[in-house]
Structure formats: structure tokens, C-alpha cells
Amino acid sequence: MKDLNYLNKIWKRGTDFLGVKYSILCGAMSWVSESSLVAAVSNSGGFGIIAAANMPGDILAAEIDKTFKKTKYNFGVNIITVTPYLKDQLDVALQKEVTHIFFGGGIPNGKDIQRVKEAGSKVICFAPTISLAKRMIRHGVDALIIEGNEAGGHIGPISTSLLVQEIILNIKEVPVFVAGGIATGEIIAHYLTLGAAGCQLGTRFVAAEECIAHDKFKQVFLKAKSRDAVVTAQFDPILPVIPVRAIVNEGTRDYNELQLKYLQEVKAKKIKPTEAQLKLEEFWLGSLRRAVIEGDVEKGSLMAGQSVGMVKSVQPTAEIMEELVTSAENKLKAMYNGQ
């Protein structure tokens, strides 16, 4: 890699915080972000993140150990706040001295935040609004990620560009990383000039050679257009569901039918909304495994961000990183030189 005179200056806050060469993170994707991809991203100068999802503590411990064997560089663990294994996962991650703990899927409680900080690790949380961003800063988080609804998987309602204007331009206390719809170095450069500490990508790294996703899963990504990654609907507020962005297939229709089934059961008081929500989440986790691991791209979940339309080939992780960094540096050079 050539000298990165512009990038090294503009994303220094992010690289210092992560302890990496490039302030580019690979988002935690269930069944995808395991030791092979995580280590490949970190070995390429970026920052990989293990998706703990619903792993029992012993399974997560084994995944962390495998990652340590594959890389000497920093990586993180993403813990979903609603998982029944939260305490066990947090115990394991801190025992293994993982440097950065990411909390997703909700707001972590103050005790968990403080516990991570007391153990000497960094706490990173997602901020869907500026009010929640300020609240989490008061609770002591070390950094924030803002993720627009262009992203794949479970998403919020606001686009990346609006979140950047609302939060990046107003939050200076901690580093803020941007995610959602990012696939090129050029857009990374633009977010950095607005004050981002770095950017997180997910969909682009699914097509990495080191990613364990089934080849059929990757081939769907290569053929898909941006408009193919669609958000699921919530049919009735009596059964709140978090929207999921995925490429439409039979699995999407199965989910819609299941949601309607549970909606009727909730209305008939045969099941509580919280129980129905959990069953729908279990559907997504199992469906995603069928697609990613088993290659069932008809019935399995094809979670993908809208940036899937810019995924054109399967490449080594290092090559993806090289392209992102080189194009970001070139864009910054052109911007600062009035080209």
C-alpha cells in the first residue's frame, strides 16, 4: 500500500481507537462473521468482529480461541442485548481479554457497560437517534456506530445520510463510525470528511474468499441488484417486529405467513407478543443458517444490504481492503486538491 497521507490524518481517531491500520470494520453478521472472516479482515489491516448471536458461552469461547490462532491483531465481539446468553457471552469475552465489545440489538444496561470498562476493554454501541447517542455517552460508552436502514439484516427506520447529519455533526465526545449502504472507498472518504472516525461494511465482505458462506449464497449476491434487497413489513403494531432487509425469495414469503399466523394468535390471546417476537427471531436465525451454511437460497434467509448491487466478484479480503483504501485515499487527494 502506498503512503496514505490523507487517510492517515483524517481517520487517526478511528485507527487509534481500534488499534488498527485502517479504520474499516466488518460488521457482525450471524453465521458469517466467524473466525475465518474476522481474522482475514484484521490481518488485512481492518477490524473484524465476531457475531456472538445466540452462541452459548462455550461455543463463543471456542470461536474466540480460533480467531486468536488466526490473527495477532485486534478484533471485537458483538453481543446482542436480548440474547438469553448475554451474561455468559460477556463473561467469556472479558475472560478472553477481547479488546472491544460491541452491544447490538438494543440498549445495554449501565452495569454491563461499566463491567466492560473496568475489565479494560472498550464499549461500542449502536445509536439510532441523537437522544440515545447522548444517553449512551452519559452511561460511559467509548464509541458509537450509526447504521442506516440501507444495511442488511435487522435495521432501523432512518437512512445513513440523515443519521450522519443528525449525529456525526453534533456528537464530538466519542468516535462515531458509520454503517449502512457502504461499498466503496469514495463514500468512505466523504463520511470521513464529515467527521466519521471510520466506516463499517458487511455485505461487501460476504463475497470475500475467506468468508465461509456457501458459494450459492455468494452467487446470489453477485447477481442481485440494489432494489432486490427489500425490507420486511410489520402487519400490525399489536405485534411489533424489527424490520429485516433481505433479498426476496420463498423464505421471505414464509416469514410473512408466519408473522400473520402469530398475529392472529396474539389477537386471540393464545400467545403473548413477546413470545411471538422470539419465535419470529428464531425463524430468522434458522433460516439464515440454511442459506449461509447449507446453501438453501430458495427457503433460507438472504439478508443483504442495498449495497449488494455493487458486489461484483468474489475476492480475497486483502484485495477488497486494498480497493477500499486506495479509492478512499485517491478521493480525498482529489477533494483536497480541488479536482
- Domain match, 62 and 198 both: yes
Count CA atoms within 13 Å of residue 218 on its CB side: 18
C-beta atoms surrounding 156 within 10 Å: 18
Q: How far apart are the first and last CA of the chain?
A: 22
pLDDT in tens, 82-117: 888 999 999 999 999 999 999 998 889 999 999 999
- Domain match, 272 and 316 both: no
- Domain match, 141 and 93 both: yes
Residue 220 counted as domain residue = no
Percentage of residues in the chain having pLDDT higher than 70: 99
CATH of the domain at 77: 3.20.20.70
What is the Cα Rg of the chain in Å? 19
Residue 153 counted as domain residue = yes
Residue 219 counted as domain residue = no
Q: Which helix (DSSP H) or strand (DSSP E) does residue 123 occupy?
A: strand 122-126
Cβ atoms of 86 and 111 within 8 Å: the answer is: no
Q: Which helix (DSSP H) or strand (DSSP E) does residue 217 occupy?
A: helix 215-223
Residue 49 counted as domain residue = yes
Count of domains in the chain?
A: 2
C-beta atoms surrounding 95 within 10 Å: 12
- Domain match, 29 and 176 both: yes
How far, in Å, are 55, 107, 247, 328 from residue 34 at the CA level? 11, 24, 22, 27
Residue with cell 417486529: 241
Q: Model-level pTM?
A: 0.95
Structure letter (DSSP) for residue 226 = G
Residue 269 counted as domain residue = yes
Residue 120 counted as domain residue = yes
- Domain match, 53 and 174 both: yes
- Domain match, 159 and 230 both: no
- Domain match, 234 and 273 both: yes
- Domain match, 315 and 295 both: no
- Domain match, 110 and 186 both: yes
- Domain match, 64 and 161 both: yes
Q: Which helix (DSSP H) or strand (DSSP E) does residue 114 occupy?
A: helix 110-118
Q: By residue range, what is the domain housing residue 254?
A: 225-303
The sign of the CA dihedral 118, 124, 130, 131 is negative
| Residue stretches of the chain with pLDDT short of 70 | 1-2, 339
pLDDT in tens, 33-91: 999 999 999 999 999 999 999 999 999 999 999 999 999 999 999 999 988 899 999 99
- Domain match, 240 and 93 both: no
Structure letter (DSSP) for residue 315 = B
The sign of the CA dihedral 281, 67, 311, 307 is positive
pLDDT number for residue 241 = 87
Residue 274 counted as domain residue = yes
As a whole number of angstroms, the longest Cα–Cα distance in the chain is: 65
- Nearest C-alpha neighbor of 25 from the set 53, 51, 58, 47: 47
Amino acid at 12: K
- Domain match, 131 and 272 both: no
pLDDT number for residue 134 = 95
Exposure of 237 by Cβ count < 10 A (0-12 exposed, 13-18 middle, 19+ buried)? exposed
- Nearest C-alpha neighbor of 314 from the set 225, 204, 209, 203: 209
Q: Which helix (DSSP H) or strand (DSSP E) does residue 179 occupy?
A: strand 176-179
